[in-house]
Amino acid sequence: MVEDRRDKILLKALELYMVEGYANVSITDLQSALDMGRGTLYYYFKDKEELFQEVVNMFLIKPKERALERVKENV
């Protein structure tokens, strides 16, 4: 359940960042889009920057690393 909620936050943040741009998305915007309390968001992420870093890690860096590992395995 905890991971589901955290993943839900990350997915919605990614969606909003892609549509609106990082600078234009506030914690309030995210909380409204998720219908979630501010305290819940801050339970999972200390601030907007940490949330953004985790979005980048989860959706850009980790997939890239997995892809590179597959290439190394096949070479």
Is the alpha carbon torsion for 51, 54, 56, 60 positive or negative?
negative
pLDDT, tens digit (0-9, with 9 covering 90-100), for 33-67:
999 999 999 999 999 999 999 999 999 888 877 87
Compute the distance between CA of residue 62 and CA of residue 38 in angstroms, rounded to an integer: 27
The overall pTM is greater than 0.85: no
Helix 48-56 to helix 2-20 angle (10° resolution) is 90
Q: From the centroid of its chain, how far is CA 44?
A: 11
pLDDT, tens digit (0-9, with 9 covering 90-100), for 2-19:
579 999 999 999 999 999
Q: From the centroid of its chain, how far is CA 50?
A: 9
Residue 1 pLDDT > 60, yes or no?
no
